[in-house]
Amino acid sequence: MKRFRKLLIVGLMLPLISDAQEKGLKDYYRDDFLVGAAVGYFFQQDEPLMALLKQHFNVVTPENQMKWEAIHPQPDRYAFEAADALVDFAQQNGMKVIGHCLTWHSQTPKWVFEHPDGTPLTRDELLARMQEHITTVMTHYKGKIHGWDVVNEAIKDGDDDVVLRDSPYLRIIGEDYLDHSFRFAKAADPSAELYYNDYSMADPKKREKALILLKGLIDRGVPIDGVGMQAHWSIYDPSIEEIEKSILAYHNLGLKVMITELDLSLYKFDDRSKPYEEAIPDSVLQLQAERYRQIFELFKKHSDKITRVTFWGVSDRHSWLNNFPVRNRRNAPLLFDREYKPKPAFEAVIKAAQQ
Ligand code: XIL
């Protein structure tokens, strides 16, 4: 009887033990925010990648599969297969999906803005095309998408006071193209969260412009739920103080704050040198780990304001930064190395969760 009891106790504990081994990033931050990753094409041919996704992440973003050029390559042809594959995988594994993205000047075909003879569409024609695209894509995924990046990267870079970047949307429709984009999205799927998403959102000048843009949307009653700070940062910048100022400023507008495309490049943005092609020095990986620790301690401190932290990829092997802004340069911005092994940065992020 005694022996039976012992066996029973061990038997009951087994699932706990194996659960502990399976514990992933998402579990460490369960009470703080969702933890996500961007996922590219061909993930299903990569078993180890799928295993990491299941263990560590509870939300995914298609890295390219839902962009206009991918999902709507020709005026009367939609191509949902690649995005469907990721949405199905996410649903089968209890993960949420972020839609990325509906209105963006990049990775959008030229025909979107033109008649077949190359002359530009009128404002009303482009609005109609935008509405048709947003409605078709969002309806296809209705009920399956947690939130959409409705407008991506609309703000102009630089120290001037011009808020909106030049783009065919701005030239043809005018400044209210964002309002329309959000309103079309709300009508298409009222239950999805709607976001504005951009890079350099911790830069003081860009923050100033973002606050003008976001406040304008809110004042005009445009349906927006949150703001995405892409967070394509480096191991050198921006400072923790500037990141914190931005989180607070966006939160104070009443918006959900999300970190949507996190990676920490080994290079400052203007550095075009290639010092690490042979090997990455340990000191650099340690510096990266320390930066990841500080950044996640900050995220944890503000976990009442931050609803999601998404990495732009999983393994350094597939990071887009191996080809941007320098083509074919070795970068290592993520938590898992080229062999999918956890890096010092991974341990640092776990440590920050336990502070
Ligand atoms: C990048 C992808 O990672 C690359 O594969 C693609 O070639 C270019 O786009 N901001 C965004 C993302 O919002 O969609 C971009 O993704 C990275 C910058």
Cβ of 64 below 6 Å from ligand 1:
yes
Distance 212 CA to ligand 1 centre (A): 25
Whether the model clears a pTM of 0.75, i.e. scores above it, the answer is yes
Distance 117 CA to ligand 1 centre (A): 30
Task: Give the chain's end-to-end CA distance (angstroms, integer).
Answer: 43
Are 225 and 147 contacting, i.e. CB atoms less than 8 angstroms apart?
yes
Cβ of 41 below 6 Å from ligand 1:
no
Distance 64 CA to ligand 1 centre (A): 7
Residue nearest (by alpha carbon) to ligand 1 atom 13: 152
Cβ of 320 below 6 Å from ligand 1:
yes
52-108 pLDDT, tens digit each = 999 999 999 999 999 999 999 999 999 999 999 999 999 999 999 999 999 999 999
Cβ of 230 below 6 Å from ligand 1:
yes
Distance 241 CA to ligand 1 centre (A): 26
- Nearest to residue 60, comparing CAs of 31, 83, 32? 83
Q: Beta strand 59-62 with 96-103: parallel, antiparallel or unpaired?
A: parallel
- pLDDT, mean of each 10-residue run, the chain (355 residues): 51 49 91 98 97 98 98 98 98 98 98 97 98 98 98 98 98 98 98 98 98 98 98 98 98 98 98 97 98 98 98 98 98 98 98 94
Residue ranges of E strands in the chain: 34-39, 59-62, 96-103, 147-152, 193-198, 226-229, 232-234, 256-265, 306-311
153-167 pLDDT, tens digit each = 999 999 999 999 999
> Which pLDDT belongs to residue 264?
98
* Residue appearing with tokens 């514990």: 23
Among 153, 242, 290, 297, the one annotated catalytic? 153
261 among known catalytic residues: yes
244 among known catalytic residues: no
Output b/e per residue, 104-131; b: 16+ Cβ within 10 A. beeebeeebbbeeeeeebeeeebbebbb
Residue nearest (by alpha carbon) to ligand 1 atom 5: 320
> Which pLDDT belongs to residue 205?
98
Ligand 1 atom with least separation from CA of 197: 13
**Beta-carbon neighbour count of residue 233 at 10 Å?**
23
Distance 114 CA to ligand 1 centre (A): 24
256-276 pLDDT, tens digit each = 999 999 999 999 999 999 999
